[in-house]
C-alpha cells in the first residue's frame, strides 16, 4: 500500500529547479521566436500587436500560412499567470502553419495587477478578436497556466459568445494546471491572490465542459508528479461529464521541452491539435 501526501507545495510546482540545466529556459526560446517572427513578417504573413482590449498587454500576434487558412489555432502562453508574454513562443506556430492553419498568440495582463478571473476574460476577448480575422474551425492550446486558460474556454461558464465557442473543435492542454486549489498552498499565491471562491469558479476540473467539448490533456513523462496528476485529473473528470477526452504522457519530455512538438507539423502533438 502506497500513501501519497505533499508537504512542500512550492517544490511540487517548481520546474526549473528540478530539471537539469533548467535555468536555460525561458531564455532559450527568445532567439528562435524572434527569427520566426522576423521571417514571417518579411513574407507579409505576420500581423503583430493586434489590439483585443484596452490594457497595454492586450495584444496578439497572428501568423498566416500560405494561401487561405484552413482554420485558426490560438496558443496561450504559461508562466504561472505571473510572467512572460507572447514574444517567447512564436516559433511554436510553425507546425500548425505548415499544416495550413493560422496561429494567434496573445499576451495578457499578469497577476498581481489583475486576478486570474480577469485573465480568463482577457483570453476570451483575445480568442474572439483572433476569430474575427480568420474563418473556419478553431483549435485552442496552451502550456502550463496557458493550458488552464485554454481549457477554461471550453467550460460551460466560459466568457465566450456562443457563436465563438461553437467554432471550437479541439483543445490541447499541455502540462495544464486544471485545479487551482493547490496554488493556495504555494508561496506564489502571495502574488496570485487566489482564494477558495476563485479556485472553485476558475478551475476547469471543477467545472462542467461545454456541450461537445473535445480535449487532449498532454504532459511530459519526466514532469513533476503534480503536473502528471493535474493532467490525468481533467481527462478523468470530463470524461464522466460527457466530453471527448484523451490523456497523453509523452515519454522523455519535461515541462519546458514538452511543447517543442508544436513546431513540427508531423509531430504527434501538432497532429493531435489539428485533428478534427
> Per-residue pLDDT tens for 187-207?
999 999 999 999 999 999 999
User: Nearest CA to 183 among 5, 14, 3?
Assistant: 14
Confidence of residue 276 (pLDDT cuts 50, 70, 90): confident
Burial (CB count within 10 angstroms: exposed 0-12, middle 13-18, buried 19+), residue 4: exposed
Query: Cα separation of 264 and 173, whole Å?
Result: 17
Query: Cα separation of 211 and 208, whole Å?
Result: 9
Query: Cα separation of 144 and 158, whole Å?
Result: 19
Q: What are phi and psi of 176, to 5 degrees?
A: -75, 150
Query: Cα separation of 224 and 197, whole Å?
Result: 26
**Tell me, what's the pLDDT at 51?**
98
Task: Return the number of other C-beta atoms located less than 10 Å from residue 224's C-beta.
Answer: 20
Q: Cell 522523455: give the residue.
A: 252
User: Nearest CA to 145 among 170, 122, 177?
Assistant: 177
Q: Cell 513574407: give the residue.
A: 43
Is this structure's pTM higher than 0.85? yes
Which is it for strands 168-174 and 102-106: parallel, antiparallel or unpaired? unpaired
Query: Cα separation of 7 and 16, whole Å?
Result: 19
Confidence of residue 27 (pLDDT cuts 50, 70, 90): confident
**Tell me, what's the pLDDT at 245?**
98
Confidence of residue 269 (pLDDT cuts 50, 70, 90): very high
Q: Mean of the per-residue pLDDT values for the chain?
A: 95
Query: Cα separation of 105 and 33, whole Å?
Result: 12
Residue pair 234/151 in contact (Cβ under 8 Å)? The answer is yes
E strand or H helix that includes residue 124: helix 116-133
Instruction: Identify any residues that bridge with 246 across adjacent strands, giving them in sequence order.
Output: 216
Mean pLDDT for the stretch of residues 51-79:
98
Beta strand ranges found along the chain (DSSP E): 46-51, 59-63, 72-76, 102-106, 138-143, 168-174, 214-220, 244-250
**Tell me, what's the pLDDT at 22?**
62
Task: Return the number of other C-beta atoms located less than 10 Å from residue 124's C-beta.
Answer: 20
The SS3 call for residue 269 is helix
Amino acid at each position: 500500500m502506497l500513501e501519497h501526501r505533499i508537504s512542500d507545495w512550492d517544490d511540487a510546482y517548481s520546474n526549473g529547479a528540478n530539471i537539469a540545466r533548467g535555468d536555460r529556459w525561458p531564455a532559450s526560446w527568445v532567439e528562435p521566436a524572434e527569427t520566426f517572427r522576423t521571417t514571417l513578417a518579411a513574407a507579409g504573413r505576420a500581423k503583430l500587436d493586434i489590439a483585443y482590449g484596452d490594457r497595454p498587454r492586450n495584444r496578439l500576434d497572428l501568423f498566416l500560412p500560405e494561401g487561405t487558412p484552413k482554420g485558426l489555432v490560438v496558443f496561450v502562453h504559461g508562466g504561472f499567470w505571473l510572467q512572460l508574454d507572447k514574444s517567447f513562443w512564436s516559433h511554436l506556430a510553425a507546425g500548425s502553419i505548415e499544416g495550413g492553419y493560422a496561429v494567434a498568440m496573445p499576451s495578457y495582463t499578469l497577476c498581481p495587477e489583475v486576478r486570474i478571473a480577469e485573465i480568463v476574460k482577457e483570453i476570451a476577448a483575445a480568442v474572439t478578436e483572433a476569430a474575427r480575422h480568420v474563418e473556419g474551425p478553431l483549435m485552442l492550446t496552451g502550456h502550463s497556466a496557458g493550458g488552464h486558460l485554454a481549457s477554461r474556454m471550453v467550460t460551460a461558464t466560459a466568457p465566450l459568445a456562443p457563436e465563438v465557442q461553437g467554432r471550437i473543435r479541439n483543445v490541447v492542454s499541455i502540462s495544464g494546471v486544471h485545479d487551482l486549489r493547490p496554488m493556495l498552498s504555494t508561496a506564489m499565491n502571495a502574488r496570485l491572490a487566489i482564494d477558495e471562491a476563485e479556485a472553485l469558479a476558475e478551475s476547469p476540473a471543477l467545472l462542467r465542459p461545454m456541450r461537445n467539448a473535445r480535449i487532449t490533456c498532454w504532459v511530459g513523462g519526466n514532469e513533476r508528479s503534480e503536473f502528471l496528476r493535474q493532467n490525468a485529473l481533467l481527462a478523468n473528470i470530463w470524461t464522466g461529464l460527457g466530453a471527448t477526452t484523451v490523456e497523453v504522457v509523452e515519454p522523455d519530455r519535461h515541462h519546458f521541452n514538452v511543447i517543442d512538438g508544436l513546431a513540427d507539423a508531423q509531430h504527434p502533438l501538432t497532429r493531435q491539435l489539428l485533428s478534427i
